[in-house]
Structure 1
Amino acid sequence: MPDTTMLPAGSILPTTMEVTVGTPELGITGERTVPGIPAENYWFRRHEAVYAALPHHVPRPPRQVLDAGSGEGYGVAAMARLWDAAEVVGVDYDAAAVEHARGTYGSSRCSFVRGPLTSIPLQDNGFDVLLSLQVIEHIWTPRELLGELARVGRPGATVVISTPNRLTFSPGLGRRERPANLFHTREYDAMELAGLVGETLEVDSVLGLHHGPRLTAWEAAHGSLPAAQLAGPPEGWEPALADLVAGVDVADFTLSGEALDASLDLVVVGHVR
């Protein structure tokens, strides 16, 4: 496995502009990542990049896949396209998100279940691949989440967990200090996250999501891209920034085992013991 994974060009979704997300039952919170909104596209692609990289880290095509914290549901549909023989289940506690996901993506191979991630309402030893992406930072009792992933996964099942890197997402925040983000209960650095996951699961690798060459070059000229987006509402952005954000793709990100402390997001790949 190379140290750096260049993510594929193009979306793993056939399109992101046909999904209606601004409905009353599924409000935009800034935390639930959704497709189809140009001003949110950077954050959506940053999340989608981890789904796109999964074939590099899953040794064989799975039969059953779990997305724990499936949110809007696009990741479940994306994984069903990655592995055309897999059944994919999304679990989320938010009733509106589950209803929306069922109506938008539900199919014979994509199903959605409502339930707490600290007590997943699914049977033991049922899944070959388990994901929980950008979720653990929201969980008050993360060891319960990890225990549930171990319980519902088959021995040897691949587990992928991602979360924002505390060192770059909340500079100056110390370990176990309460984040300023009201949706987050705890944020992690690479060693902290790997140690927590390793208490319950075998950790195979710890990776960091980084900007690829195009976004790195933009930041060299203009400064932090996330900061530029957060500096003001999208309607006030300069046209060049708006165009850049709307055009970001998964190919604008890389996954690497190097420079973890400088990464945007952390990704732990492991397996069930």
Structure 2
Amino acid sequence: MTSQTDVQTNELEFTGERFMPEVAGQIAFEHLHRYHFASRFCQGKRVLDVACGEGYGSRILSNAAASVVGVDISAEAVAHARGKYARGSLEFVEASAASLPLPDDSFDVVVSFETIEHHDQHEEMLSEIRRVLRPGGLLVLSSPNKQYYSIEPGYSNPYHVKELFREELLAMAGRYFSAVQIYSQRVVHGSLLIAEGKAAFDSILGTGPDSSESERGLSRPLYDLILASDGELPEAKSSFYEMKVHGLDAATFYGVHLPERVSSGDHQVAVLQAKIDGQSHDELLRQLSRQHEALRGVGEQVRHLEGLLATSQQTLLTQFAGEGALRDELARLVAQHNEDREQVQRLQLAVTEQRLIGEQREHEVQLLKESRSWRYTGWLRRLTGSARRHL
């Protein structure tokens, strides 16, 4: 048995599939709800957590259980769990769910959440669970409901090997246990676990402004969770799990606060985009550079014209002194010279204005990227792929 001080905690990377307790959103509701639901059956019991992953769930179960063993096929995950969670009544073992290195009849409760779909050794896994579970012991197992998780949304999880329809899950459990109870789970602004049969309730799904559809139990459940035993099943009511998200109630955060922040951020981006007129920062700099070069060329032309004017003035003064034609020519050249100088001044002013506008836009973009709204929505974009599959 390994204590927390024996092994240094190894940090695990969030891949999008293995849940990490610091990750928020829908995946947190789903995973945390299952473990808190299962812990009610673990009071004072010997518990096995098959495919414990990071170890957070085994830790939750250990708060109620007499002892917990977490098993995972990943050596990296087991090392992390040992370093972060292991204590006297909680230990972690590296092993396959289809080949458990544990004695017969050694556990009162076996928990396994979102495991069976990651391999195709379903019968081997259930056989091993039945072997280590004492007579009359309890299995709490969950699996994605293939109909609503994959088929209807047209989604394919690259980490899943063999998903099950509800009927397949029930038939398989029935081959190893004499009593099976099915629960349905789907995240709303929390997580619902609804017992079917007498404990079920009616779901009402709005299909339009004045129409709806009713269904017994939870409509379109993404996951199926079972209690199975060859003894009497414990009485369990339906369950709802919720928690604070960034200090707010989940419904307030996801239904009000987050959409407002996203809308505000989108508006700020749209305003800046309109100012930039679809041009990138680099393109603006290139335009300013081209205008600067053009201005430099005009300046050289003006200096050349001024030289010609001075020469012309001297020539005319020498050749046509005292003549009216001289005054007219001089007046024309002076007017042309003044017009050229005014053109140069206008170009200089335009270049200066463009440079100031570019600097202001750079400043506005930087303020947006440093804003709270930009930080709030960063993680949402990373989880968009995961969230869309459940819509």
**TM-score normalized by structure 1?**
0.69
Instruction: Tell me: CA distance 1:173–1:123, structure 2 relative to 1, closer, same or farther (3 Å).
Output: farther
Q: Which amino acid aligns with 1:135?
A: T
Asked whether the equivalents of residues 62 and 129 of structure 1 are also in contact (C-alpha less than 8 Å), the reply is no
Q: 1:119-130, aligned counterparts within 5 Å? A: 119-130=99-110
| Higher relative contact order (CA closer than 8 Å, sequence separation 6+) | 1
Q: Which amino acid aligns with 1:253?
A: S
Instruction: Tell me: CA distance 1:107–1:266, structure 2 relative to 1, closer, same or farther (3 Å).
Output: same
Question: 1:261: Cα distance to partner?
Answer: 6.1
Question: 1:44: Cα distance to partner?
Answer: 2.2
Aligned residue in 2 for 1:198: 174
Task: Determine helix, strand or coil for the equivalent of 2:225.
Answer: strand
Given the alignment, which residue of 41, 49, 68 partners 2:33?
49
Question: 1:164: Cα distance to partner?
Answer: 1.3
Structure 1 residues 18-63: Cα deviation after superposition (integer angstroms, max 9, x where no partner): xx98x3xx2222111111133xx3202211101111255x3x7343
Asked whether the equivalents of residues 174 and 180 of structure 2 are also in contact (C-alpha less than 8 Å), the reply is no
Aligned residue in 2 for 1:188: 164
Aligned residue in 2 for 1:270: 228
Distance in 1, matches of 2:49 and 2:147, equals: 26
Instruction: Tell me: CA distance 1:201–1:146, structure 2 relative to 1, closer, same or farther (3 Å).
Output: same
**TM-score normalized by structure 2?**
0.49
Task: Determine helix, strand or coil for the equivalent of 1:96.
Answer: helix
Structure 1 alignment gaps of length 5 or more: 1-19, 216-251
Task: Determine helix, strand or coil for the equivalent of 1:37.
Answer: coil
Count of residue correspondences: 203
Aligned residue in 1 for 2:21: 35
Distance in 2, matches of 1:183 and 1:101, equals: 21
Instruction: Tell me: CA distance 1:108–1:130, structure 2 relative to 1, closer, same or farther (3 Å).
Output: same
Question: Larger deviation: 155-164 or 46-55?
Answer: 46-55
Distance in 2, matches of 1:114 and 1:66, equals: 13
Distance in 2, matches of 1:183 and 1:272, equals: 32
Q: 1:1-273, aligned counterparts within 5 Å? A: 23=11, 26-38=12-24, 41-55=25-39, 58=41, 61-83=43-65, 86-172=66-152, 180-212=156-188, 215=189, 252-256=190-194, 257=196, 258-259=216-217, 262-272=220-230
Distance in 2, matches of 1:143 and 1:54, equals: 23
| Regions of 4+ moved over 3 Å | 258-261
Distance in 2, matches of 1:201 and 1:139, equals: 21
Distance in 2, matches of 1:81 and 1:268, equals: 22
Task: Determine helix, strand or coil for the equivalent of 2:79.
Answer: helix
Matched-pair identity in %: 33
Task: Determine helix, strand or coil for the equivalent of 2:108.
Answer: strand
Distance in 2, matches of 1:42 and 1:173, equals: 17
Task: Determine helix, strand or coil for the equivalent of 2:180.
Answer: strand
Higher relative helix content:
2
Question: Larger deviation: 252-261 or 182-191?
Answer: 252-261
Structure 1 residues 55-94: Cα deviation after superposition (integer angstroms, max 9, x where no partner): 55x3x734310000000000110001133xx100000110
Distance in 1, matches of 2:29 and 2:84, equals: 19
Which structure has the larger Rg? 2
Asked whether the equivalents of residues 65 and 87 of structure 1 are also in contact (C-alpha less than 8 Å), the reply is yes
